[in-house]
Structure 1
Amino acid sequence: MPPVPPPLPPPLSPPRSAARLRLAWLLCRRLALPAAAAAAAATAVAAAAGYPSPATLAATALCMAGVAPPRSVPAGVGHRGAEGSAVENSLPALAAGAAAVGSVETDVTLSAEGTAWLFHDDTLDAMAANGAGPACAATDAALRRVAVHGGAAFGLAGVTAPLAELTPALAAGGDAVEWMLDIKTCRWPGGLPPGVALPPGVTVDDAPAGDGRVACGPLVEAVAGSLAAANVSTDRVVFTSTQASALGAVRHRWPTAAAVLSRDAKVAWWRRRTLEAEFAPWTGGALEWRLVVARPDVVASINARGGRVYGWTVRSDGAWRGVACGGRGGGLRATRSAWPRGGRASESRSGGMYSMTITGQ
């Protein structure tokens, strides 16, 4: 009688991981149609409401996470000259930015005597070592005595430089430099002073209620005088401002000038048509970098009509990458604080404060 074979071992139970994978697969099959329907519905709602599609936002998020490459590669413009290398808006800062990348951004305000000066704030209190009050109310003699602080974040604590006039700054760079002039609207809390005239068609209607901020026609004329004295063509200048009335004054003086309206991230929730209408009368838009990230659809719309998009103010690698991810097309330009001569630089803590410019194709 043949020997009885040993009983077969019981079948091995599948590992728990395999069971989980099968469960996940079944769930995906069941949820695929609802997920696709939800994505389609979200896309339709976004399109109807005038916002970017979920796919567009997801692509930007993947780019910022480093999974996808940036849509654009930036080139450089010196922010307030090169404020990471010298006191902002000073002649040394402008020289550093121009030497590095050949293009600088600076802020232009007006003295009480009608001279264009380079200064960002409404008042001298925060930045000046020896001055106070509105810059628009100060005489030229007083402004020539003002020394401006350097940024402590850039290792310039205790460093000062004289406040600079626009004319010698333009003359130093000349037509070899591309200029971005941010027109700072004069601010008089008590309202428009007697004897200050606005150019035809320019009003204070777009000024925030009660802050006394208006387009300064005399400032535009002072800028015109400085450009003529320094023999700098407006073809080498882009004018920016937060207020349409200031750009209206620019356009009244130079009908074909590049004039760009500036908006911050607070308008990220506006519908696309509303934002497009904001920027439509102008050469393009100066967008805070968070707005570029949040609204790549608006960036694409401005670029599509041949407009320029200027992103500001980039202070980190993440912000730098965010603007590159949200931007589209070629010709990216970036206002950075400090650059090595003749080259490009990666973002760093010592590199300072940056902004970015995206020009249309």
Structure 2
Amino acid sequence: MVVRQRHPPLTPFVMAEPSPSGVSPYPPPRYAGATRVAWLALRRLIGWALPVALAVAAAAAGALLLGYPTPAATATTTLCLAGVVAPRSYPRAVGHRGAEGVAPENTLPALTAGAAAVGIVETDVTVSADGTAWLFHDETLDAQSNGTGRPCAATDAVLGGVRVAGGAAYGLANVTASLTRLAPALTAVGGGVDWMLDVKTCGWPGGPPPAGTLPAGVTTADAPADPDGCVACPALVGAIADALDAAGTSLDAVVFTSTQPSALAAVRSRWPAAATVLSRDAKAVLRPLRSLLTDFAPWTGGALEWRLAVARPDLVAALTARPGGRVYGWTVRGGGAWRAVGCAGGGWGITSFPNRVAGWKAEAK
């Protein structure tokens, strides 16, 4: 038996009438679809980019009003750190504590090594019970030497027998050198060397100095409490003055630095024209620019921890723009930190390894 397949009835072809709206019922050409996709993509891009642009503009305006780096300045620094753009400056080098990565810090071997490598050395100055300027960083001898107690409570005879230990982080744990007085160090290192003398923590026994002896706007309110009055700011500065005179070192070859404004005030009360540099670490990074500049206003410049310098190029620029203004970045222990000081625009980099600076400079260019 043959089964016949049934077919659906044919639908007669009817010409479609144009729609009342005038839109063709047929699909658009391919190029029209591509144009629409491009237009939709552009609209989406505009919808995403516009809020971002407004946010960046608001951030820039807020930075200017509140006193923080603009996004453009931060972007430039970031590109510099990545090696995309050149540094804002190529710093000069200062040997930190002489050259603490080469020999025990603040000792004659370290100072000699730093001076030979870069011609500028930083060292820490405190005072003995006999009123002599000695080179030592810590408030007590215990951690970094074979001595005990506070240097300011020890006589010159006792301090003359102290040996300073090298830093274990620099492979110098078994290396020692004699504790050094400032005057013989100035003489032994020789002429033609610039010095950065870091005035250590000191107080003002008996109250503030007479009116008119400090720079405008500077007080001694920041002087820390020192129960036994072991280190007096005027006495420490007096000991430094005696050492400079004994060695015949010109004040033009010396920059004084301290974390303590009243210590710098003691320097200025002795030498009104002395170069004085206030030191600040990375904890100051969130402070508005106006507030920071108030702190630095009486002084020649700033010694900034390198992380603070690279995060606040606005502060670096403001300090260097002043007549004679100078900015030091500390403490540099590698090529990355050295480049960061240059990216921030600092003029000097205080480094533990002055003997490595030539290689870092070559890498930074």
- Do the structures match in fold with TM over 0.5? yes
SS of the residue 2:195 aligns to? strand
> SS of the residue aligned with 1:345?
helix
Match for residue 321 of structure 2? 304
Q: Does 1:336 align with 2:356?
A: no
Question: In the alignment, is the contact (CA less than 8 A) between 2:199 and 2:258 conserved in 1?
Answer: yes
Q: Which has the larger radius of gyration?
A: 2
Cα deviations across residues 270-319 of structure 1 (Å, max 9, x unaligned)? 11111111101000111111110111101101111131111111223332
- Aligned equivalents of 1:22 and 1:172: distance in 2? 77
Partner of 1:217: 234
Q: Which runs of 4+ in 1 moved over 4 A?
A: 20-26, 196-199, 201-204, 208-215
Q: Please tell me whether the aligned partners of residues 60 and 325 of structure 1 are also in contact (alpha carbons under 8 angstroms).
A: yes
Map residues 313-328 of structure 1 onto 2, 5 A cutoff.
313-327=331-345
CA displacement, residues 53-85 of structure 1 (integer Å, 9 cap, x when unaligned): 111112111211222221111222111111111
The answer to whether residue 189 in structure 2 is matched with residue 144 in structure 1 is no
2:128 pairs with 83, 90, 111, which one?
Answer: 111
1:28 Cα shift? Answer: 2.5
What is the total number of aligned residue pairs between the two structures?
320
| Structure 1 residues 122 and 210: alpha-carbon distance in aligned structure 2, compared to 1, 3 A threshold | closer
Tell me which moved more, 28-37 or 302-311: 28-37
Match of 1:346 in 2: 360
CA apart distance, 1:40: 1.0
CA contact (8 A) 1:199 1:217 kept: no
Whether the aligned pair in 1 keeps the contact of 2:331 and 2:352 (CA below 8 Å) is no
The aligned residue for residue 5 of structure 1 is none
> In the alignment, is the contact (CA less than 8 A) between 1:174 and 1:232 conserved in 2?
no
Identify which range, 20-29 or 73-82, moves more after superposition. 20-29
Task: Give the Cα separation in 1 of the matches to 2:297 and 2:64.
Answer: 20
- Counterpart CA distance in 1 for 2:271 and 2:201 is 18
- 2:280 and 2:201 map into 1 onto residues whose CA distance is 15
Amino acid at match of 2:353: A
Q: Secondary structure at the match of 2:138?
A: coil
**Contact kept in structure 2, 1:215 and 1:245, CA below 8 Å:** no
Query: Could you tell me whether the CA contact under 8 Å between 1:86 and 1:93 is conserved in 2?
Result: yes
SS in structure 2 of the partner of residue 89 of structure 1: coil
Cα distance change on mapping 1:208 and 1:267 into 2, 3 Å:
farther
Q: Could you tell me how far apart the structure 1 residues matched to 2:312 and 2:135 are?
A: 31
SS at match of 1:39: helix
CA distance in 1, matches of 2:118, 2:190: 14
| Local SS of the residue matching 1:344 | helix
1:84-103 pair list within 5 angstroms: 84-103=101-120
Task: Map residues 1-361 of structure 1 onto 2, 5 A cutoff.
Answer: 26-128=43-145, 130-186=146-202, 199-200=209-210, 201=213, 204-208=220-224, 216-306=233-323, 307-327=325-345, 332-340=347-355, 344-346=358-360
* Residue 210 to residue 33, structure 1, CA distance change in 2 (3 Å): farther
1:26–1:273 distance in 2 versus 1, CA, 3 Å: same
Give the aligned partner of residue 350 of structure 1. Answer: none
2:330 maps to amino acid: W
CA contact (8 A) 1:215 1:246 kept: no
**Is residue 330–residue 351 contact of structure 2 (8 Å, CA) maintained in 1?**
no
Cα distance between partner residues in 1 of 2:95 and 2:77? 26
Task: Return 261-270 or 212-221, whichever deviates more.
Answer: 212-221
Q: Aligned AA for 1:107? A: D
How far residue 339 of structure 1 moved from its aligned partner, in angstroms, is 3.9
Percent of aligned positions with the same letter in both sequences?
61
Which moved further from structure 2: 168-177 or 246-255? Answer: 168-177
Larger CA deviation: 318-327 vs 91-100: 318-327
Which moved further from structure 2: 276-285 or 200-209? 200-209
**Contact 1:215–1:243 (Cα < 8 Å) also in 2:** no
1:47 Cα deviation after fit: 1.1
Supply the distance in 2 between the matched residues of 1:219 and 1:89 (Cα, whole angstroms).
17
Deviation at 1:138, TM superposition (A): 1.1
CA distance in 2, matches of 1:275, 1:290: 16
**Structure 1 stretches lacking a partner, 5+ long:** 1-12, 14-19, 348-361
Question: Normalising by the residue count of structure 1, what TM-score does the alignment of the two structures yield?
Answer: 0.81
Contact 1:70–1:321 under 8 Å retained in 2 = yes
Q: Distance in 2 between matches of 1:47 and 1:212?
A: 46
**Alpha-carbon shift at residue 336 of structure 1 (Å):** 2.4
* Worse-matched range after superposition: 142-151 or 201-210: 201-210
Give the aligned residue type for 1:159.
V
Q: Distance in 1 between matches of 2:209 and 2:182?
A: 21
> CA–CA distance in 2 between the matches of 1:326 and 1:22?
43
Alpha-carbon contact 2:306-2:329 (below 8 Å) kept: yes
Deviation of 1:224 after TM superposition, in Å, equals 0.5
Please report the RMSD computed on the Cα atoms of aligned residues, expressed in angstroms: 2.7
